[in-house]
């Protein structure tokens, strides 16, 4: 299966800010995981997916009220039951946050089960992201 990107947008409102008047990291994390979940859910039933680990959220700059942020997510690596999403957040055409999230495909009792999904990246960027995601387990 080819790598398929998903895009979502969010308007940063007053309720999303921290005590410095910038986007609260906790809200960013919520949106970050939701974005990765959307990519995983596009490949299997949403009720079969659980978040195992956020591997990192590296911020490059603060985000202010009124900015519109764009989340781009895609599953870049799969194992037997796991799916690794790459997620990036962009504001004003600048990369703000990027990182990886591992999701696990589970049965109705929350036990890991095979999903049968194989990701075959075609673009050089996706090949590099798959290599980076593979390094997370080492």
Give the chain's length.
Answer: 138
Residue with the bigger pLDDT between 3 and 126: it is 126
Pairing of strands 82-91, 68-78: antiparallel
Domain extent for 24: 6-135
102: in domain: yes
DSSP for residue 77: E
The count of domains in the chain is: 1
**Per the domain annotation, does 119 fall within a domain?**
yes
Inform me whether the pLDDT recorded for 1 exceeds 80. no
In the predicted model, what is the mean pLDDT of residues 33-38?
96
Provide the CATH number for the domain around residue 112: 3.10.129.10
Distance CA 113, CA 48 (A): 9
Residue with tokens 């939701």: 34
- CB of 43 closer than 8 Å to CB of 83: yes
Assess contact for 76 and 86: CB atoms under 8 A.
yes
What pTM was estimated for this model as a whole? Answer: 0.92
Q: Which residues pair with 51 in a beta bridge?
A: 103
């Amino acid at each position: 299966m080819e790598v398929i990107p998903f895009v979502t947008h969010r308007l940063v409102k007053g309720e999303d800010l921290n005590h410095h008047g910038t986007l609260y990291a906790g809200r960013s994390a919520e949106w970050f995981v939701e974005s990765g979940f959307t990519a995983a859910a596009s490949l299997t039933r949403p009720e079969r997916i659980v978040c195992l680990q956020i591997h990192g959220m590296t911020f490059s700059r603060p985000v202010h009220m009124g900015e519109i942020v764009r989340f781009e997510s895609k599953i870049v690596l799969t194992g037997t039951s796991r799916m690794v999403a790459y997620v990036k957040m962009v504001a004003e055409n600048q990369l703000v946050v990027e990182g990886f999230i591992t999701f696990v495909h589970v049965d109705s009792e929350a036990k890991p089960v095979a999903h049968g999904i194989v990701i075959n990246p075609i673009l050089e960027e996706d090949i590099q992201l798959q290599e980076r995601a593979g390094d997370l387990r080492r």
